[in-house]
């Protein structure tokens, strides 16, 4: 009888617990992953990625692992059900003041996971609400350290700082923050207009700088091209003058060699028979040719008194030629002897 009454009392208590436990323990925030508590049916099958916290006579007993588990009726009670999956929490929009006193409206998304079901069950009353409030306060604190421009440029650094700060505080709750992402950042309309004007001014500045740099590069390229053109032109002119001088020198040498060869041939020809007659004929031809060019090259003409007497001019030229041919150069010894005789005569003349 005692055993039967004990079983009846235990069944009544178990039914009452099943009716009241979800209302007492399950908060609106926790209904996401635990809408109701399972009943103690002695033989239990725990789903994967879930942890069931069991209390025995009001005290923590153990955590049921996924799979087959056995519990004692009446004494054991499933108090909490924790999901080990990654949980996504939408952080409500909040206002924060930046370092340069600009009020921002910012919201985000928090990704977390329960790594210790015991701490998540007994360390905090409402873990999701606690983490949400912690994320909001931490975001206000982090935004107060940055200016408005840095908030937009350093979003990744801001998210990393948020994760680090939340993990330091939520370690005692058995919760690990995996990521925090900023969804939207709203600025006041006037500040937005000022930012737009700043962006336009910055773009105009970049365009002006780029245009000036392009003009400078173009001027440098034109000057460099002119410089190279002048250098190449001077080098070409120098090479042309060198080639021209070399050509003129070779022409002078060729003319001199030709003239020397002509003189040698003429001297040889004069030593032959009838050389004088040939010389007379050549002189006469040159005289007639020069006389015919006098009136063509100049208006002033100097004529000899016997212009028409060509024979006399040829005779005069041949006389000069015969005199030059008869004079012979004296030997150096004879010249020294004559100089010594003159010096002796000059020394004896005063006596």
By the 8 A CB rule, do 61 and 76 touch? yes
The pTM assigned to this predicted structure is 0.47
Instruction: Give 278's pLDDT tier (boundaries 50, 70, 90).
Output: low
Tell me how far apart the alpha carbons of residues 133 and 92 are, in angstroms, rounded to a whole number.
Answer: 10
pLDDT at 151: 82
pLDDT score, position 222: 92
Higher pLDDT, 202 or 26: 202
CB 119 within 8 Å of CB 89: no
Beta-ladder partners of 76: 56
Return the exposure string of 235-248: e unless at least 16 CB atoms fall within 10 Å of the residue's CB, then b.
Answer: eeeeeeeeeeeeee
Identify the pLDDT of residue 16: 47
Which has more confidence, 36 or 203?
A: 203
Decide: 173 and 140 in contact? Cβ < 8 Å: no
What pLDDT, on the 0 to 100 scale, is given for residue 143? Answer: 85
C-alpha distances in angstroms, 97 versus 14, 148, 154, 348? 53, 9, 16, 132
DSSP 331: P
Assign 242 a pLDDT band (cuts: 50, 70, 90): very high
Please tell me what DSSP assigns to residue 47.
Answer: P
Distance of CA 93 to the CA centre of its chain: 42
Contact 94, 133 (CB under 8 A): no
Contact 185, 151 (CB under 8 A): yes
- The pLDDT tens digits for 83-132 are 888 889 888 888 888 888 888 888 889 899 888 889 888 888 888 888 88
Torsion sign over Cα 103, 107, 113, 119: positive
Residue 185: which pLDDT band, with cuts at 50, 70 and 90?
Answer: confident
Percent of the chain with pLDDT over 90: 7
* Rounded-to-integer distance, Cα 209 and Cα 266, Å: 83
- CA nearest to 190, candidates 84, 103, 94: 103
The residue to which tokens 């107060």 are assigned: 144
pLDDT band of residue 190 (cuts 50, 70, 90) is confident
Tokens of 244: 């021209």
The sign of the torsion formed by the CA atoms of 275, 279, 282, 284 equals negative
How far apart CA 112 and CA 163 sit, in angstroms, is 10
- Return the SS3 of 307: coil
CA distance 342 to 306: 44
Mean pLDDT, the chain, rounded, equals: 76
Answer yes or no: is pLDDT of 24 > 80.
Answer: no
Of the candidates 203, 205, 187, 215, the one whose C-alpha atom is nearest the C-alpha of residue 96 is 187
Q: Which two tokens stand for residue 157?
A: 């650094």
Q: What are the residues facing 159 on neighbouring strands?
A: none
The more confidently predicted of residues 287 and 187 is: 187
Q: How far apart are alpha carbons 51 and 336 in whole angstroms?
A: 141
DSSP calls for 153-185: H-HHHHHHHHHHHHHHHHGGGTEEEEEEEEEEE
Over residues 147-169, the pLDDT tens digits come to: 888 887 888 888 888 888 888 88
Q: Check residue 30 and give its pLDDT.
A: 42
Instruction: Please choose, from the candidates 37, 34, 74, the residue with its C-alpha nearest in 3D space to the C-alpha of residue 56.
Output: 74
Which of 4-18, 43-57, 219-233 is predicted with the least confidence, judged by mean pLDDT?
4-18
Cα–Cα distance for residue pair 172/120, rounded to 1 Å: 8
């Amino acid at each position: 009888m005692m055993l039967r009454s004990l079983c009846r009392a235990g069944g009544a208590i178990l039914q009452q617990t099943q009716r009241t436990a979800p209302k007492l323990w399950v908060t609106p925030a926790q209904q996401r992953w635990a809408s109701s508590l399972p009943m103690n049916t002695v033989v239990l099958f725990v789903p994967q990625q879930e942890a069931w916290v069991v209390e025995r006579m009001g005290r923590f007993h153990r955590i049921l692992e996924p799979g087959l588990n056995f519990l004692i009726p009446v004494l054991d009670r499933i108090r909490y059900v924790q999901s080990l999956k990654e949980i996504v929490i939408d952080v409500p929009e909040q206002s924060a003041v930046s370092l340069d006193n600009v009020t921002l409206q910012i919201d985000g998304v928090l990704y977390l996971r329960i790594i210790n079901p015991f701490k998540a069950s007994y360390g905090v009353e409402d873990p999701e609400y606690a983490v949400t409030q912690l994320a909001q306060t931490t975001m206000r604190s982090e935004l107060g350290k940055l200016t408005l421009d840095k908030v937009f440029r350093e979003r990744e650094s801001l998210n990393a700082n948020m994760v680090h700060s939340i993990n330091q505080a939520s370690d005692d709750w058995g919760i690990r923050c995996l990521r925090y992402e900023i969804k939207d950042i709203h600025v006041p309309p006037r500040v937005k207009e000022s930012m737009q004007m700043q962006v336009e001014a910055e773009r105009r500045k970049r365009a002006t700088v780029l245009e000036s740099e392009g003009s400078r590069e173009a001027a440098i390229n034109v000057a460099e091209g002119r410089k190279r053109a002048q250098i190449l032109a001077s080098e070409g002119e120098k090479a042309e003058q060198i080639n021209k001088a070399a050509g003129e020198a070779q022409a002078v040498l060729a003319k001199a060699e030709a003239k020397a060869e002509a003189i040698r041939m003429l001297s040889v020809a004069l030593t032959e028979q009838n050389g004088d007659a040939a010389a007379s004929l050549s002189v006469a031809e040159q005289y007639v040719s020069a006389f015919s060019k006098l009136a063509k090259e100049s208006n002033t003409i100097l004529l000899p008194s016997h212009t028409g007497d060509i024979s006399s001019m040829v005779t005069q030229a041949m006389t000069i030629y015969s005199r030059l041919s008869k004079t012979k150069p004296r030997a150096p010894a004879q010249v020294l002897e004559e100089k010594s005789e003159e010096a002796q005569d000059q020394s004896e003349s005063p006596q």
